[in-house]
Amino acid sequence: MQKNFRNRILKYSLLFFLIFTSISLAQFQKANYKILGISVEGSESADPQTIIANSGLRIGDEIEIPGDQTVNAISRLWSLNIFEDIRIEIEKKIEDGVFLIIKVKEFPRVEKVMTSGNDELDEDDILEVGDFIRGQILRTQEVYNRISKIKKLYEEKGYLNAKITPHFFSFVRADTTQKEIIATWRNEKDFSWEVTTKYDFNRNIPTRIIERVVNRKVLIYEVDEGDKVVVRKISFVGNKSFDDGDLKGAFDNTSEARWWKFWTSSTLKRDELEKDKVLLKEFYHKNGFRDFEILSDTLIYTNNNKDVEIKITVYEGPQYIIRNIYWSGNTVYPDTVLAERLNFRKGDIYNLEKFTQNLRFNENQTDVTAIYQDNGYLGFNLQTREQKVAEDSLDIYINIQEGNRFRVGQVHVQGNTKTKDKVIRRELYTVPGDYFSRNGIFRSIQQLANLQYFNVEKLYTEGVDYRPANDSTVNLVYQVEEKSSDYLNASVGYSGSFGFSGAIGITLTNFSIAEPFQLGGGQILNFSWQFGVGNFYRTFSLGFTEPWFMDTPTLVGFDLFDTRQRY
């Protein structure tokens, strides 16, 4: 009996499969048609004819359905990045012809972006990275990209637990007053949450505001800032040469919370932790641990994510000492002179920072590179190679490429819109015909900065450009950016017994007595007027200083006073 029942089930199942397969094959059987017409459904801001044109489908074309032509048409429309759903269907079939309909759903567009729940950051700060332009297409991916940027702002403030939730609001209605239109928007998930936007309105001027905004969205970033994450403990794994206290001392920004450290913040900030990890690596390199690496850092959260323990696993490696230093390629200066500049001896701990600075650049300008570049060797270069010769020893090979010796050709000054060329040139230590000198350029930049006529930051970063004219001459271009260097001061006081008293003065630090209305001569002119106790006292003073009298570094000046006092 059971056997017969199983046979009947198997027979019916097979019959059902054959019927279903036949229907499916008939349903998806390919056929060729002629396109008799194309229409568009669902477009709001996009023009239907433009959609049809971009699809690549044309009335009168032969089309296979389903086939590559419809797939390609959908791909072309996707590439416009304005639709979140696209379908191409047969609207009507007449013999061997079809009418196609392109059904699209556009991405919504933004009307306004707002915030809710934020306290630590102002709305302006959040919208600086999270805003959309009014009318811009609102794609979900772009919303979450902006949320990531907002979270980064909170992380920089120590709010690692901050949560940002996007809410979309649809247009509900509009109310009109004498002077404005008030549009109401409703949260698409929480119907009880409504917000309004306002628009200026003049009954005498036609407006299409409602027509424009009815299909748009309002986006609100709901912020749950949470609590700051406090660092309760910093520990290290794998350190043998230094204890945890030494390694914590290498950090500048991240520290453990202690009641007596009232002057420091123990809030965890990821970007500052990354900077401190770099400092930790530099600390080890200074102490000869060339192979040091940070293997991992783990954040262990407790107390509902309010507290954190930082655990850093390190590999110290051996502490290296220098065995031998070999020089090659140097013909101008002997090994002993270069070794004195490098300031390392056999058996010294391999301090990578000191080694790099003494080789290429240090604050005292006593590095190896300086001895060459201060004497015309503009193209000087060097390469180093370290060779491990024992478990904890290094031989260092330094190859010198001296290059040609350059003299200074032309010296140009650019960007000085007020200050005269001669005022700048008299401060320069790079003179045409002299050998190129790196130190001379540094001293020139320092002198220009001391004038206080120019943007100091740009002077030190973009202040000079080297332009070789040939293989033995280099032209220099000093680039300056003028800034205001004049001073105006004023003060006033009042006494019930004696009346008003005060002073007013002006100092022009870049004055030109030859061209007083153009300035830029590097001279100093100051004027002040002091008055006191009503009309009983007043003083006028006028001062003038010429720091380069007769174009020589001779300072000449005078001060004139006129004081009157009534007793």
Q: Express each pLDDT in 126-184 by its tens digit.
A: 999 999 999 999 888 899 999 999 999 998 888 989 999 999 999 999 998 888 999 99
Q: What is the mean pLDDT of residues 195-215?
A: 84
Instruction: Name the range with the highest mean pLDDT among 81-90, 204-213, 495-504.
Output: 81-90
Q: Which amino acid is at 300?
A: I
Q: What is the mean pLDDT of residues 521-537?
A: 81
Compute the distance between CA of residue 230 and CA of residue 264 in angstroms, rounded to an integer: 12
pLDDT confidence of residue 211: 84
Please tell me whether residue 558 adopts helix, strand or coil conformation. Answer: strand
> For the stretch 86-100, what's the b/e string if a residue is b when 16 or more beta carbons lie within 10 angstroms of its beta carbon?
bebeeeeeeeeebbb
Q: Kindly report the CATH number that applies to the domain delimited by 407-479.
A: 3.10.20.310
From the options 1.20.1250.20, 3.10.20.310, 3.30.470.30, 3.40.50.970, give the CATH code of 321-401.
Answer: 3.10.20.310
Do 413 and 421 meet the contact criterion of CB atoms below 8 Å apart?
Answer: yes
> For the stretch 254-287, what's the b/e string if a residue is b when 16 or more beta carbons lie within 10 angstroms of its beta carbon?
bbbeeeeeeeebbbbbeebbeebbeebbebbbbb
Order of all β-strands in the sheet with 230-237? 230-237, 307-315, 293-302
Question: Which has more pLDDT, 26 or 419?
Answer: 419
Question: Which has more pLDDT, 129 or 17?
Answer: 129
Compute the distance between CA of residue 159 and CA of residue 153 in angstroms, rounded to an integer: 9
Question: What values do phi and psi take at 172, rounded to 5?
Answer: -115, -55
Give the chain's mean pLDDT: 88
Do 420 and 520 meet the contact criterion of CB atoms below 8 Å apart?
Answer: yes
Kindly report the number of other CB atoms within 10 A of residue 204's CB atom. 4
Compute the distance between CA of residue 9 and CA of residue 340 in angstroms, rounded to an integer: 98
Compute the distance between CA of residue 162 and CA of residue 264 in angstroms, rounded to an integer: 23
pLDDT confidence of residue 18: 37
Statement: residue 22 has pLDDT above 60: no
Do 355 and 364 meet the contact criterion of CB atoms below 8 Å apart?
Answer: no
Question: What values do phi and psi take at 335, rounded to 5?
Answer: -55, -40
Q: Residues of the chain with pLDDT > 70: what percent?
A: 92
Statement: residue 547 has pLDDT above 60: yes
Residues 6+ apart with CB under 8 A from 512: 420, 518, 519, 520, 521, 522, 523
Q: What is the mean pLDDT of residues 427-439?
A: 95
Do 533 and 567 meet the contact criterion of CB atoms below 8 Å apart?
Answer: no
Q: What is the pLDDT of residues 34-71, one digit of tens each?
A: 989 999 998 888 889 999 999 999 998 888 877 888 89
C-alpha 365: how far from chain center: 32
Do 308 and 232 meet the contact criterion of CB atoms below 8 Å apart?
Answer: yes
Confidence class of residue 561 from pLDDT cuts 50, 70 and 90? confident
Compute the distance between CA of residue 366 and CA of residue 371 in angstroms, rounded to an integer: 7
pLDDT confidence of residue 44: 82
Angle formed at CA 34 by CA 28 and CA 39, multiple of 5 degrees: 90
Compute the distance between CA of residue 122 and CA of residue 120 in angstroms, rounded to an integer: 7
Statement: residue 263 has pLDDT above 80: no
Statement: residue 27 has pLDDT above 90: no
In 3D space, the residue among 26, 29, 100, 25 whose CA is nearest the CA of residue 63 turns out to be 100
Do 534 and 552 meet the contact criterion of CB atoms below 8 Å apart?
Answer: no
CATH architecture label of 109-224: Roll (3.10)
Q: What is the pLDDT of residues 388-414, one digit of tens each?
A: 998 999 999 999 999 999 999 999 999
Statement: residue 4 has pLDDT above 80: no
pLDDT confidence of residue 6: 46
Confidence class of residue 567 from pLDDT cuts 50, 70 and 90? low
Tokens of 450: 């001391």
Compute the distance between CA of residue 143 and CA of residue 138 in angstroms, rounded to an integer: 7
Q: What is the pLDDT of residues 69-100, one digit of tens each?
A: 889 999 999 998 888 899 999 888 888 889 99
Tokens of 277: 């990890």
DSSP 75-143: HHHHTTS-EEEEEEEEEEEETTEEEEEEEEEEPPEEEEEEEES--SS-HHHHHHHH---TT-B--HHHH
Q: Which amino acid is at 86?
A: I
Confidence class of residue 531 from pLDDT cuts 50, 70 and 90? confident
Confidence class of residue 535 from pLDDT cuts 50, 70 and 90? low
Statement: residue 434 has pLDDT above 90: yes
Q: Kindly report the CATH number that applies to the domain delimited by 230-315.
A: 3.10.20.310
Statement: residue 496 has pLDDT above 70: no
In 3D space, the residue among 116, 120, 189 whose CA is nearest the CA of residue 161 turns out to be 120
Confidence class of residue 10 from pLDDT cuts 50, 70 and 90? very low
Statement: residue 250 has pLDDT above 80: yes
Q: What is the pLDDT of residues 268-324, one digit of tens each?
A: 988 899 999 999 999 999 999 999 999 999 999 999 889 999 999 999 999 999 999
Q: Which parts of 429-522 are beta strand (E)?
A: 464-468, 473-479, 487-495, 499-511
Question: What values do phi and psi take at 139, rounded to 5?
Answer: -100, 140
Statement: residue 29 has pLDDT above 70: no
Confidence class of residue 341 from pLDDT cuts 50, 70 and 90? very high
Give the CATH class of 31-106.
alpha beta
Compute the distance between CA of residue 119 and CA of residue 325 in angstroms, rounded to an integer: 59
> For the stretch 327-342, what's the b/e string if a residue is b when 16 or more beta carbons lie within 10 angstroms of its beta carbon?
beebeebeeeebeebb
